Amino acid sequence: MGEHLLYRVDEVMEMKTKRKICVVTANRTDFSRLETALEEIQKHEGLELQLIVIGAHLLDKAGYTVREIERKGFPISHRIFMEIAGSTPTTMAKSVGLAMIELSSVFEHLKPDIVLTHGDRYEALAVGSTAAIMNICVGHIQGGEVSGSIDESIRHALTKMSHLHFASTDESKERIIKMGEDPDAVFNVGCPGTDILLRAPVMSKEETLRELNKFTRVKSFSKSEDFILVLQHPVTTEFKSAGDQILETIDALMERPEQLIVIWPNIDAGAEDLSAALRRHPIFSREGTKFLKHLPSELFVNVIRNAACVVGNSSSGIREACYFGTPVVNVGSRQEGRERGGNVVDAPYNKEEIQRAIEAQVRHGRFEAEKIYGDGTAGRQLSHICATCELPSVQKKIQY
């Protein structure tokens, strides 16, 4: 960790007002990776939490996951409707513009000291751009990572607009520094999502399936049979192929004996075609298959823990499954280059190759667990840095 920005506790205690930390969350995934940071900020005596909920959280087709935030008891300062229907690159770009218009008014009202944004999605780009233009200190979580699609470009753009960097691995921290950022402003705290993994109550396979059965009115799972978790999102730079790509995956799964838990895709460009392909496919009515929009984080952790295999292109297969040694078949280019454990094998968009990969992974069974993205203390470290650091000047000094 950087030394020059830390441990100014005496000065913080002398402040008459708490430091205001504004956190913006846009979807189920980033909330799960922000939750412990929110908890620690909320209970820190030197900090005031401001929470803005935007994007897919407020859409029924994405599970209306704002209810999960409310259930957890976090006070919401503002809600922003920003998503334009269509799931194309054009609507994504317009949604960024709409979000910036709304966020600028909210930031002007809240006057945060630090705005925290997460990851590499277009919603995060709107958050970081707006705050940086308004001369507000930006803290970026999960910078410096490598992946496919437009996501990597957005992530690195956010790095250049941010003033505090909360990396999840040593490799990510080094990449941020190599991009010219001040080493004293770059911290490897781990991924806050890992905190949830390591503290979630452990459920057996039978207990997990019993809880899953509460999320359906029609079909129930057999609690004694194995299951595969399927999570595949559209790749924004390949969005016209999203429907064909998911067909290769579900055709490969159609003859598998395991029960299937299929999580609906996110709302990126290509999502409509991907969802339509799922609905038209016989797998939609296959016995022992359940489609879900959203699961509470504690249950989702145990679904990953107990799955016979995770199949698709979600970062959960890369970032979370390694902690349980769950076998993963990573399909396509979306997670290309991301740090991963020995439990992950890659497969192209090809039914036969996906089938072979799944068969080999299921036959292998559990791998040795690997703690790649932190040790479960990320939220606490992040809040401590936000409370005790000397805020960098909004005029950054880039190293060239």
Please report whether residue 1 resides in a domain: no
Q: How far is CA 119 from CA 103, 139, 158, 265, in A?
A: 18, 11, 9, 18
pTM: 0.86
pLDDT tens digits in sequence order for the chain, 400 residues long: 444 444 444 444 444 589 999 999 999 888 988 999 999 999 999 999 999 999 999 998 888 899 999 999 999 999 999 999 888 999 999 999 999 999 999 999 999 999 999 999 999 999 999 999 999 999 999 999 998 778 889 999 999 999 999 999 999 999 999 999 999 999 999 999 999 999 999 999 999 999 988 876 656 778 778 999 999 999 988 999 999 999 999 999 998 999 999 999 998 889 999 999 999 999 988 888 999 988 888 999 999 999 999 999 999 999 999 999 999 999 999 999 899 999 999 999 999 999 999 999 999 999 999 999 999 999 999 999 999 999 999 888 878 7
Give residue 1's pLDDT. 41
256 and 311 share a domain? yes
Task: Note whether 213 and 184 are same-domain residues.
Answer: no
**Do 151 and 253 fall within a single domain?**
no
Same domain, 168 and 222: no
Q: 């999580």: which residue's tokens?
A: 263
175 and 241 in one domain? no
Q: Are residues 140 and 288 in the same domain?
A: no
CA dihedral 210, 219, 231, 297 (to 10 degrees): -30
Residues 175 and 311 in one domain: no
Q: How many domains does the chain have?
A: 2
Do 117 and 244 fall into the same domain?
no
Q: Is 2 part of any domain?
A: no
Distance in angstroms (rounded) separating the CA atoms of residues 77 and 142: 24
Q: Bridge-partner residues for 166, per DSSP?
A: 141, 187
Supply 164's token pair.
């505090």
Q: 220 and 94, same structural domain? A: no
Q: What is the pLDDT of residue 13?
A: 45
> Are 15 and 127 members of one domain?
yes
Is residue 224 assigned to a domain? Answer: yes
Q: What is the pLDDT of residue 2?
A: 44
Task: Flag whether 399 is in a domain.
Answer: no
DSSP code string of 188-226: E---HHHHHHHHSPP--HHHHHHHHGGG-SS----TTS-
In a domain, 20, yes or no: yes
Per-residue model confidence (pLDDT) at position 28? 87
Give the CATH number, domain containing residue 229. Answer: 3.40.50.2000
Position 393 in a domain? no
Predicted pLDDT at 16: 55
Structure confidence at residue 219 (pLDDT): 62
What pLDDT was estimated at residue 218? Answer: 57
Give the separation between CA 99 and CA 90, rounded to whole angstroms. 14
**273 and 351 inside one domain:** yes
Range of the domain at 359: 199-364
Q: Could you say which DSSP state residue 336 is in?
A: T
**Cα 261 from chain centroid?**
19
Residues 211 and 296 in one domain: yes
**Residue 75: what are its φ and ψ, rounded to 5°?**
-75, 130
